A and B are shown apart, each in its own frame.
Chain A
């Protein structure tokens, strides 16, 4: 008889499941803003930017967390600054800055003597390597992000929908924009350990894109996206144990599966509106975009 709870007999798997739950909820909840603001590119961008910080932290003997946090948050702020001040489109600002940070990481790594540590773990994620300390960071940062979004969800919603009128009405649009970028950066730092730099964007975009197909209300979209994210990450991790496959890849493919299920339901209802159709195509483009590495 098969023991369905077999994966839970191991400490490292227990930690992995908790991390998967937090990251799934976090990424997909934040993904709502990413999809609605059409920022799909940013998940990829900030994740790649974290790599420079990870390599520098490794060289200096510092922790993954400090390196990734500094590099990712600085890149997020720089993207916002360049976009606001230099009249460069956000896509362009992201494209210029994240490739620079990623290239810096590759450059530094290529000059390192060969050693026992394989930094490429970060490219594809290593959820089974989540230690007790890492788990503490994941949970604390996850709660912090949830608190910030809980406090700011209204200005974030207003400035996502109609930034011009929001600004005229006295909403601090710049603050919302920077806060969103920083919170996204933290989300990505937490998630890179789980699914890796290359696949983070999928967890950020795919559950939210699936939710957008099924509801026309913002709060429902966020809750549904969160549920999809948790099901994909926890379910994907569980499936990867039995399939003996990469956990990051299995998690992303689970999310993709849910996305197509949502697409089928939405098509059966006969209401795949044009806009969400376009969002859907954008989302799939991102899912298939592991070509950057």
Chain B
């Protein structure tokens, strides 16, 4: 039964040394649902995504993706786009090379990209409107173009779960609209998406469900209900006084 849920988190606590990033977090996510995670800076939003991705081990509790621990998943299951890509921008790869990396996890030793692999890469490049930039070196991109490239890599992977860490921070309005359309389309096709954001105003457009996190879950429900509740007001206050923008 548990295998039917895309994500299950029970009693999750994550501590970095003595700092408690998350404590007692519970939620689950069915397929074809877009879940938004909001909360102030330092509330543990990114840590929650990393725990789901298997990048940080739980100090307590369990994380299950498709009924399994993240590290036991088949390669290519989780597509992850971090908040800040900490890469060497002079690394010798083009946009197309980076997007093609999305196919690497599923390729065996010595395997070449199959026709399906190439088509997945081409579709991801088209979906993010990167055709004209495909042969550009990654150092020749704007911030928004870089972000689209990394989202395209995650899409090309054809993941069973997509994790996006503040993909709209620092991108222009056109890119944000394009990402919104893309994500809603993927969700309509059944893909579960978990995304953190600072943008509360458009939460109802993006998400089917909204979770307010500040080390623990303060509210969980439909976006308009959560936004109407007191949990959101306290967070908004906090967020605005502590620097809304990075």
Q: Which residues on A are within 8 Å of B, measured CB to CB?
A: 36, 38, 150-152, 154-155, 157-158, 160-162, 164-171, 212, 215-218, 220-221, 273-276, 279
Contacts and interface: CB of A to CB of B under 8 A. Distances in A.
Contact of A276 (B53, B90, B97, B153): B90
**Interface size bucket, B side?**
35 or more
A170 B88 contact: no
Contacts of A212: 92
Interface stretch (B4-12, B26-34, B37-45, B69-77): B69-77
A221 B82 contact: no
Interface string B58-100: 0000000000000001111111111001111111111001100
A152 B54 contact: no
Contacts of B97: 217-218
Contact of A168 (B78, B88, B110): B78
Secondary structure of the B contact surface, majority rule: loop
B86 to A, nearest CB: 7
Contact of B82 (A150, A155, A157, A164): A164
A226 B55 CA distance: 35
19 contacts: A36-B88, A152-B109, A157-B101, A158-B101, A161-B88, A165-B82, A165-B153, A166-B101, A166-B104, A166-B105, A167-B53, A169-B76, A169-B78, A169-B80, A169-B157, A169-B159, A170-B75, A220-B92, A275-B88
Tell me which of B78, B80, B104 has the highest count of chain A C-beta atoms within 10 A of its own C-beta. B104
Interface of B: 53-55, 73-82, 85-94, 97-98, 101-102, 104-105, 107, 109-110, 137, 139, 150, 153, 157, 159, 163
Contact of A221 (B80, B86, B92): B92
Given A158-B101, A158-B104, A217-B92, A151 B109 contact: yes
A150 B110 contact: yes
Nearest to A215: B92
A169 B73 CA distance: 9
A36 B94 CA distance: 15
Nearest to B79: A169
Contacts of A150: 110
Contacts, number: 93
Most chain A beta-carbon contacts within 10 A, residue among B75, B92, B153:
B92
Nearest to B86: A164
B24 to A, nearest CB: 24
A162 B55 contact: no
B124 to A, nearest CB: 14
A161 B104 contact: no
B75 A169 contact: yes
Nearest to A150: B110
B104 A155 contact: yes
B112 to A, nearest CB: 10
A158 B98 CA distance: 9
A169 B102 contact: yes
B101 A170 contact: no
Contact of A275 (B86, B89, B98, B104): B89
Nearest to A220: B92
Contacts of B53: 167-168
**CB-based closest 10 A-B pairs:** A275-B90, A170-B75, A151-B109, A168-B80, A168-B53, A169-B105, A216-B137, A154-B104, A170-B105, A218-B92
